[in-house]
Structure 1
Amino acid sequence: MNPVQYGEACQALVDTFNALECDLKDHNYWGDDAINAIRAEIKDHYIAEQNRRCCYCGREYPTKNKAVWDGEHIIAKSAAPQFMFEPRNLAASCKDCNIAKGEVEVRTNPKRKTFPDQSNHYKIVHPHFDNYHDHIRWYGDVVKPLSAKGAELVNMCKLWRFGVTKAGAEVAPPNTLVDGWIGVMMDPQADALSKEIAIEAYKAYVKTQPQKAAG
């Protein structure tokens, strides 16, 4: 992902902040009206750069309406205000992921003084330093972590919420046979015959279910 490049006026404000002594860098400055233009540049850039998909859940939010998006600090600005305007510490996230993640520490070494600029410096999948699909796989609304970093992101941002919500709304009563078939289909260690049996059983089950009327 390409980092944001600030316009001349915004870069001047960023440079002024970055020139402050460390103990004078206040993360509350993020909410100051003086940097409205910076926040707008950040959102506009990353919404477009991410193809209107949240950097954490990967869901598409097909709108440029900035109220739908949060300018996300991968390392929380309260934990490291010195990185508040660092382009590689910024992205666009949906509000649910932003709220779920909160200010949890994502660095493997929080005592590091310089900006962590490599994948192994982070516990979670980083939108600038990692390939999302190497760590997270979606089966519709069901998420499967493919690595320790993926598992950390799933838990931190509660990415299982999509599957849980859909299951609660659409799957009642639960069917343990169906759960078992789906488990076999998703099991990378299951043999081909077991998967074929599970798939055919699931197809037969689906045909017995009432269909929703269109519209």
Structure 2
Amino acid sequence: MQKGIKPASLGPDLKAGLEKAMKRKGFKGWDSAAAAAVSFRELVMDVGLKNQSHKCIWCTLLVGERGRRTAHRDHIAPKSLYPQWTFLPENIAISCEFCNGFMVKGDLDTVSKVDALYENSEFLIVHPYLDDIGVHIGFSEDEAKIPAVIFGLSERGKWTISRLKLDSDFMTLQRAREILIDREYSKLREEDQDRVRSALNFGR
């Protein structure tokens, strides 16, 4: 899991627009075509990708064009079970299609106790915004000092790793591969990094 990530922040106009839209008859929730709902979805995706360095919040692998993995707006507490938090930025992070898929997280119930205030609720999953990730999850290094092997430091950490299958051989291999690529890339001269970025159309 990624550490020190912050959620998107809503401006007063968007917040007011959302509140107004949700009161309208026939409002279709997350899939609504209302301008405020569309703007909200775009905001959490754009800010999430930037804040998370285009990496999945759970497995830390690259998403979007940079990782060739679809980026999902992942409701930490699933909106199907907790619709009251559907448009709460603190309940949304960017994940890959595998971690957010029905075979892994999907509609998995991640809440142990609901409170009127979201931040006072208790979660089964390690929460990327509300928890100190390092208290719950760690990474061990191999002989090449590649911190790809994940392990739980708490019961919630172990629950998160197990339920999201973050310790599978496949995920461990993918993390190691991306760490090695980043490591070798950082050793390149700046002009060579520019050539790589240009070839991959990443930009600066």
TM range (shorter): 0.5 to 0.7
- Confirm or deny: 8 A CA contact 1:74 1:89 kept in the other structure: yes
Q: Give matches, 1:44-123, under 5 Å.
A: 44-61=46-63, 63=65, 68-99=70-101, 100-109=104-113, 112-118=114-120, 121-123=122-124
1:149 — aligned with what? 156
- Give the 3-state SS of the residue equivalent to 2:111 in structure 1: coil
Inter-partner Cα distance in structure 2 for 1:66 and 1:57: 14
Q: Give matches, 1:1-215, under 5 Å.
A: 1-7=5-11, 10-17=14-21, 19=23, 29-34=29-34, 35-61=37-63, 63=65, 68-99=70-101, 100-109=104-113, 112-118=114-120, 121-139=122-140, 140-163=147-170, 166=173
Gapped regions of structure 2 (runs ≥ 5): 141-146, 175-204
Inter-partner Cα distance in structure 2 for 1:124 and 1:25: 33
- Confirm or deny: 8 A CA contact 1:55 1:91 kept in the other structure: yes
Q: Which amino acid aligns with 2:52?
A: Q
- Confirm or deny: 8 A CA contact 1:141 1:163 kept in the other structure: no
Inter-partner Cα distance in structure 1 for 2:67 and 2:19: 28
- Confirm or deny: 8 A CA contact 1:141 1:162 kept in the other structure: no
Report Cα offsets for 1:111-159 as digits up to 9, x if no partner. x3513314x7111110111122322223444321111111111122111
- Confirm or deny: 8 A CA contact 2:30 2:87 kept in the other structure: no
Runs of 4+ in 1 over 6 A off after TM superposition: 64-67
Normalized against structure 2, the TM-score is what? Answer: 0.65
Normalized against structure 1, the TM-score is what? Answer: 0.62
CA 1:46–1:95 in 2, change beyond 3 Å: closer, same or farther?
A: same
User: Which gives a bigger RCO, structure 1 or 2 (Cα 8 Å, sep 6+)?
Assistant: 2
Shift of 1:63: 4.3
Which is higher, the Rg of structure 1 or of structure 2?
1
- Give the 3-state SS of the residue equivalent to 1:108 in structure 2: strand
Shift of 1:68: 2.1
Q: Which amino acid aligns with 1:115?
A: L
Inter-partner Cα distance in structure 1 for 2:166 and 2:74: 16
Q: Which amino acid aligns with 1:155?
A: S
Aligned residue pairs, count: 160
- Give the 3-state SS of the residue equivalent to 1:101 in structure 2: coil
- Taking only the aligned residue pairs, the percentage that are identical comes to 25
Q: Which has the higher helix share?
A: 1
Structural RMSD (CA)? 3.1
Q: Which amino acid aligns with 2:135?
A: D
